[in-house]
Each structure stands twice: as structure tokens, then as C-alpha cells.
Amino acid sequence: MSEPVAYLVNGVAFNDINRAKFYSDVLKYHKKIKIDVESIVPIPLYTAEQLHPRVKMTQAEFDELEMWLINAQFDYSELKKTIEIVPNMKWFVRSKEKEHGNYWILAESRFSDMPRYTVYKSYAMTFDTKEEAEQWTNPLTEAVQLPVEGE
């Protein structure tokens, strides 16, 4: 979470915490003004992310959007500033406790129909939903959502 970019003191908005604190101190100094104590304390109003929301999309989604914009001969340089690339997330089943610094992850076996456990994430079974992953859990394992690299 980022720092607030606006503050409220006694109904007056400030975009700088130092100015808000100074105004608060001035109000405290002039005791003849009858003000609630809560209204003298600078109250954070919003953060920069709330003022300038970013669209979250995966790299594959961004690549597809970029292709469409290029084909439409659209200048999207300003649009790129509002897009945040997030990793692809999948659900995994892994051990609740680490063993020798690694989690054991449920993986498909190459030699039988029965799944096995491995410490290598590249062999792990992935699930699209938490419910699918929870079907494979037991008292020693848990369903967790983790980023998937290179998909």
C-alpha cells in the first residue's frame, strides 16, 4: 500500500502531510475555536493508486491488446502507463510445512496414474480454481495460489 496523497483536517483538504500537520497545530494553538479533537488530526483521504487506477492484465492479454492496437494504427503510449502486468496465477497443492527448506508439491507421475509429490514446481499439477485443488488436499497439505512462470 502506498502513502496517502491527500489529507483532511477539520473539513479542509491538503495534498501535503506537512501542511496538514501545520494547520492542525494552528487549530490546537487557537483554543478558542470549539473543535472536536478527531477533526484536528490529519485524516488520509486516498492514495495515488486510488486516484489513478491501473488495469491489471497478464502478459498474454497485454500482447493480444497490443496486437489489436498496432493493427488499428492506434497510438497507445499513454494507455501503456495505465496497464499493470500481473503474473498468471494457478492453484497448487503443497505441504503445509517446509522440509529441508522446500515445500512438497503435488505432481503428475510420468510412470503411473497415481500423483506423487516433488519439490520441483515445474512438474506440479496446476488447477484453475481453489475448489479443484482442495479435492486433492489432505491434513498435511494445503491449496495455495502461486504465480506460474513461462506459460
pTM equals: 0.52
Whole-number pLDDT of residue 8 = 87
Strands (E), the chain: 4-9, 12-14, 43-47, 55-57, 83-85, 88-95, 105-107, 116-118, 141-148
Distance CA(46)–CA(35), nearest Å, equals 24
Whole-number pLDDT of residue 12 = 85
Within 10 A of 136 (CB to CB), how many other CB atoms are there? Answer: 15
Whole-number pLDDT of residue 36 = 57
Calculated CA dihedral for residues 129, 90, 59, 109, nearest 10 degrees: -120
Q: Running along the chain, 151 residues long, what does each successive block of 10 average in pLDDT?
A: 80 86 80 60 79 82 88 81 86 93 89 84 89 94 86 47
